[in-house]
Amino acid sequence: MALRSALRKQYMTLLSHWPVDPLRPALSFPDFLRRRIEQEFGAPHPPNSSPLSAVSTTTTKEVEAQSKFDEVYEKRQLNALSSLLEDRYKKMYPVTDHILMPKGQPDYYKKLLEELEVAPKRSWFERQLNSWRGWIRLK
């Protein structure tokens, strides 16, 4: 049981550092993971409640979830999340200028990054206008 609470705490620490996606603020990855953690580990118990009272109120569904708990799997999941958060693979495999500046369109990724910075700040009208620009081409 102590292992489960320690893993839950590690998950919550990782999620507290997770960045918000400016393009899709309504689809939050940390919220999705919190729901998964609550399903897997159960809701957190208040600090003043005793562990015996928590055991007596467990349902059969929670008991089944506890019996299916896989420590190795959860540790691998934590490692994968922490490696994403730390940009471990970005540091391990740096992207070269050859990839970032293709000969056909050398400024493609630069324009893409500029577009990603501007997109969340657009109004509804500007977004609609941009979508129509893709359909209508004036010569």
Taking the domains of the chain in order of start, what are their residue ranges? 2-92, 97-135
CA-based nearest residue to 73, from 35, 28, 40, 33: 40
Look at residues 54, 52, 30, 56 and name the one whose alpha carbon lies nearest to residue 44: 54
CB-based contacts of 20, cutoff 8 Å, min separation 6? 28
Entry pTM: 0.63
Per-residue pLDDT band at 1 (split at 50, 70, 90)? low
CA angle 127, 133, 138 (to 5 degrees): 160
How far apart, in whole angstroms, are the C-alpha atoms of residue 139 and residue 130? 17
Q: Report pLDDT digits (tens) over 65-108.
A: 555 678 899 999 999 999 999 999 999 999 888 888 989 999 99
Q: Are 7 and 77 in contact (CB under 8 A)?
A: no
